[in-house]
Amino acid sequence: MSRLVVVSNRTADPRKAAAGGLAVAVKESLQQTGGLWFGWSGKLRDSESGTSGESDIKLQTVGNVQLATLDLTQEDHDTYYLGYSNKVLWPVFHYRLDLANFNVRFAAGYRRVNQLFARKLMSLLRPDDIIWVHDYHLIPLATELRALGCGNRIGFFLHIPMPPPLIMAAIPEHEWLMRSLFDYDLVGFQSEADVTHFAGYVESEAKADTLPGNRLRAFNRTLRVGAYPIGIDVDEFASLARSRDGVEMFGQIREEYSRRRLLLGVDRLDYSKGLPQRVHAFRELLAKYPENRNSATLIQIASPSREDVGAYDDLRVEMDSLCGAINGDYGELDWMPVRYIHRNVARKKLPGLYRASRVALVTPLRDGMNLVAKEFIAAQDPSDPGVLVLSRFAGAAEQLKEALLVNPYDTQGTALAIQRALTMSIEERTARHTALMQRIRQFDVHWWSSSFLADLSSTESSGDFRAVVSSSANLLN
Ligand code: ADQ
């Protein structure tokens, strides 16, 4: 059986729980098969250190997974990670052209680090390895590997949304980026909408032909595409909810809020997650449906994220001010409408918290999938489940139709949906939960990784990449 090699911006210790959707899901799939996980160590190094003036790979074996990491220089980190990944690709792929900074230095750093990753990874590869590259930090990695002669099967999965063609076209290097995807054998997206956007782009910008078997042909290469909505380990999450920590957390929260109904939000503090809009909707709920005053409490956990990117700082200030204002205007001596926690919460505490909540507010403005929505469903007591209020702009909305779907930009509509969730009959809650649970169980994280890897293994390599290696390499110089 071939070895699985996973490449992502960061790796994580597979034995430890991690916040962040990608880390959680990749850990699940690697632990199943064993293999190599390659990425940035998260550490910075002096530009001069390393035997060849480059970072040495650090190898570490953790159970059946070998971790291979390298350090980055400050310049690489600032341009590849903070710059191109998080000030160009993240905002644009989340439809936020207003927040993008198209600095040419960022693009150069992004190409340089992808070349570095490819060179370092090549030295560790075996001929029959199957390589699975993850996310927007590493779009051109296959092009770089092919340029070094790598003939392995390589798949790519994009965890964030694929924007419509004309939004993509705002990125100065859009053609190079999208062309790079054709050096993969299989490219997976979270939703059918993402596949449609990608196909629309290559059809209009590169005159791609659509071939049978979900294949697209452009730039003299053939690529297979598909939607592989990421899932969670449902049984593990449900059993965490029933574990001692889960039960303790549940009991503690239920006791503390015995007279109240809890609404819960759990997110990274990110502008894509729609947090200010959510607080506005909660405020509207209190204004329009006064029976919720002194009775409903919103717990919003927002873990610190990308604090050295300016837009995230602005969001922190905005959230502090919105939550302060709502508590000032509506709070009582014995009731605070919003409990806003700007910290990471231990993963083992989440299931109990989800289970104690009557309503989950998962209302991103754009999200590739959103795993919190699925975790909330998995953690519920099937005989008395809570209700999921879900943005129609999360990838998860394609699968989770029995949630209450909302437009997060519509404050009144979202407030109405929250009110509906708070007053929903037990029969309706149970019926919706049963259907949702069935769906997340069918399409869980094991389904996600095994279906992607099965399709990657059975995809015929287009075989013609070598012919274009030199021209791709030239593009990068
Ligand atoms: P993220 O944007 O990080 O992931 P999400 O899918 O919600 O978003 O995953 C977050 C994970 O981190 C969940 O497992 C959640 O429990 C955990 N988490 C989030 N906030 C936390 C907090 N405050 N404290 C503790 N744990 C927290 C990206 C994409 C998503 C996509 C995933 C996986 O943006 O759209 O679903 O990758 O592909």
Structural domains present in the chain: 4-231+446-470 (3.40.50.2000), 234-442 (3.40.50.2000)
How many A from CA of 367 to the centre of ligand 1? Answer: 10
Residue 257 reports pLDDT greater than 90? no
Residue 466 reports pLDDT greater than 60? no
Residue 286 reports pLDDT greater than 60? yes
Lowest mean pLDDT across 143-147, 207-211, 248-252: 248-252
Residue 342 reports pLDDT greater than 90? yes
Under 8 Å between Cβ of 391 and 274: yes
Residue 230 tokens read as 């990421």
Lowest mean pLDDT across 70-84, 95-109, 116-130, 303-317: 303-317
Q: In what order do the strands lie in the sheet with 359-362?
A: 338-341, 296-303, 261-268, 359-362, 387-391, 404-406
Residue 372 tokens read as 């919190």
Please give the pLDDT value at position 348: 86
**Percent with pLDDT over 70 in the chain:** 93
Pocket probe mutation, ligand 1, options 26, 237, 348, 371, max atoms within 8 Å of Cβ = 371
Lowest mean pLDDT across 48-62, 151-165, 188-202: 48-62
Residue 336 reports pLDDT greater than 50? yes
Please give the pLDDT value at position 18: 57
Please give the pLDDT value at position 50: 53
CA torsion through residues 342, 347, 348, 350, sign: positive
Q: What number is the average pLDDT over the span 372-394?
A: 97
Ligand 1 atom nearest 270 alpha carbon: 2
What confidence category does residue 307 fall into, taking pLDDT thresholds of 50, 70 and 90?
A: confident
Please give the pLDDT value at position 152: 97
Residue 49 reports pLDDT greater than 90? no
Residue 183 reports pLDDT greater than 90? yes
Ligand 1 atom nearest 368 alpha carbon: 35
The span from the CA of 79 to the CA of 86, in Å, is: 9
Please give the pLDDT value at position 20: 54
**Percent with pLDDT over 90 in the chain:** 78
| Among protein residues, the one whose CA lies closest to atom 33 of ligand 1 | 21
Q: What number is the average pLDDT over the span 126-131?
A: 95
What confidence category does residue 147 fall into, taking pLDDT thresholds of 50, 70 and 90?
A: very high
Q: What number is the average pLDDT over the span 54-68?
A: 90
CA-CA distances (angstroms) from residue 64 to 13, 31, 141, 267, 457? 12, 7, 25, 31, 21
Residue 405 tokens read as 């779907």
Which amino acids bring their CB within 6 angstroms of ligand 1? 19-22, 24-25, 159-160, 230, 266-268, 301, 303, 344-345, 347, 350, 367-372, 375
Lowest mean pLDDT across 239-248, 354-363, 406-415, 423-432: 239-248
Please give the pLDDT value at position 411: 98
Residue 467 reports pLDDT greater than 60? no
What confidence category does residue 22 fall into, taking pLDDT thresholds of 50, 70 and 90?
A: low
- Greater confidence, 186 or 251? 186
Q: What is the average pLDDT value for the chain, to the nearest integer?
A: 91
DSSP 3-state percent helix, strand, coil across the chain (nearest 5): 50, 20, 30
Report which secondary-structure segment, H or E, holds 236: helix 234-242
How many A from CA of 160 to the centre of ligand 1? Answer: 11
Residue 387 reports pLDDT greater than 80? yes
Please give the pLDDT value at position 239: 84
How many A from CA of 201 to the centre of ligand 1? Answer: 28
Please give the pLDDT value at position 468: 38
Please give the pLDDT value at position 52: 60
> Which of 354, 374, 360 minimizes the C-alpha distance to 417?
360
Please give the pLDDT value at position 444: 93
Pocket probe mutation, ligand 1, options 369, 443, 448, max atoms within 8 Å of Cβ = 369
Q: Which residues pair with 225 in a beta bridge?
A: 187
Q: Quick: pLDDT tens for 220-256.
A: 999 999 999 999 989 888 888 888 888 888 888 888 8
The span from the CA of 66 to the CA of 473, in Å, is: 30
- For the annotated catalytic residues, the residue numbers are 159, 367
Please give the pLDDT value at position 403: 98
Q: What number is the average pLDDT over the span 114-130?
A: 96
Residue 129 reports pLDDT greater than 70? yes
User: Do the bridges between strand 58-62 and strand 65-73 make them parallel or antiparallel, or are there none, so unpaired?
Assistant: antiparallel
What confidence category does residue 90 fall into, taking pLDDT thresholds of 50, 70 and 90?
A: very high
Q: What number is the average pLDDT over the span 262-280?
A: 97
Please give the pLDDT value at position 31: 76
Strands (E), 283-442: 296-303, 338-341, 359-362, 387-391, 404-406
How many A from CA of 268 to the centre of ligand 1? Answer: 7
Ligand 1 atom nearest 346 alpha carbon: 25
What confidence category does residue 33 fall into, taking pLDDT thresholds of 50, 70 and 90?
A: confident
Please give the pLDDT value at position 289: 98
In the DSSP assignment, the letter for residue 53 is: S
